[in-house]
Amino acid sequence: MCTAAELSEIAYKKEKSASLRLAKRLGISEEAALSEILSKVAGSSPLNELLTRRLQEKAHIAAKLAAHKQAKLTARAQKQASRQPDASAWLAWFDGSCHPNPGKMGIGGLLKSPQGTETEISFHAGIGDSSEAEYIALISVLETAIQAGADKLMIYGDSQVVINDVLSQSGGATILSAQRLKAQCLIARLPQVSLNWIPRHRNAQADALSQQAIRNSAAAANPQQA
């Protein structure tokens, strides 16, 4: 014998709505109306069988939803873990600025050892365009890492063009082929290197160092205005 609570648990929304209409029309209780509606749904099968089948369906759906939720949580955790740098790796950021473009190039970079020691790079690199400035910044970071004895290096920059170019075996702008070759040669001298794109707002320190280089250059050229 199915209880009213059990019938209410397995009834679909449309079946509950139909039972309310039936109860109002016949002047019977909502429980009795729902039992009648579900008995018609069960047909020749006992109502207990419909109850068992629907409870199994609900359990199956709940298990699928739980598995899907767990899969999403696992994927999110894995994604967050992949963003965390290796504790034993050296970290580096590079950025090149150009005012205007083409114009004065400012080079910025930051190298951080696994122990947390930071080396800043900031200098004026003459006249050029933004891609050339980005390449010089990357090369400077690589040279600094080699001098520091970095064995595992994770480099971050916001120039997708330069990162894609230096990782390619050929192609790219002909005028930058020398810079690309130099960067690739420096990378080959390091045991383990990864180049990673990040959005500009996550490259703030390297950007600030490149902007500082341009300001310092302007101040040196016009000492009275400094």
What would the pLDDT profile of 110-150 be if each residue is shown by its tens digit? 999 999 999 999 999 999 999 999 999 999 999 999 999 99
Average pLDDT over residues 203-217: 94
Confidence of residue 175 (pLDDT cuts 50, 70, 90): low
**The pLDDT value given to residue 195:** 94
Confidence of residue 2 (pLDDT cuts 50, 70, 90): confident
Q: Is residue 106 within 8 Å of residue 217, measured between CB atoms?
A: yes
HEC string for the chain: CCCHHHHHHHCCHHHHHHHHHHHHHHCCCHHHHHHHHHHHHHCCCCHHHHHHHHHHHHHHHHHHHHHHHHHHHHHHHHHHHHHCCCCCCEEEEEEEEEECCCEEEEEEEEEECCCCCEEEEEEEEEEECHHHHHHHHHHHHHHHHHHHCCCEEEEEECCHHHHHHHHCCCCCCHHHHHHHHHHHHHHHCCCEEEEEECCHHHCHHHHHHHHHHHHHHHHHHCCCCC
Average pLDDT over residues 28-33: 93
CATH number, domain 90-221, options 3.40.50.970, 3.50.50.60, 3.30.420.10, 2.60.40.720: 3.30.420.10
Average pLDDT over residues 83-104: 88
CA 209 to each of CA 30, 59, 166, 205: distance values in angstroms, whole numbers, following the listed order:
74, 58, 22, 6
Burial class (CB in 10 A: 0-12, 13-18, 19+), 181: exposed
Average pLDDT over residues 30-53: 93
- Angle at the Cα of 178 (from 212 to 148), degrees rounded to 5? 55
Q: Is residue 136 within 8 Å of residue 105, measured between CB atoms?
A: yes
Q: Residue 197: pLDDT above 90?
A: yes
**The pLDDT value given to residue 222:** 65
Q: Residue 165: pLDDT above 80?
A: yes
Burial class (CB in 10 A: 0-12, 13-18, 19+), 191: exposed
**The pLDDT value given to residue 50:** 93
**The pLDDT value given to residue 118:** 97
Domains of the chain, by residue range, sit at 4-83, 90-221
Q: Residue 226: pLDDT above 50?
A: no
Q: Residue 153: pLDDT above 70?
A: yes
**The pLDDT value given to residue 84:** 63
**The pLDDT value given to residue 225:** 53
Average pLDDT over residues 38-67: 92
- Cα 81 from Cα 84, distance rounded (Å): 5
Q: List the beta bridge partners of residue 96.
A: 107
**The pLDDT value given to residue 111:** 98
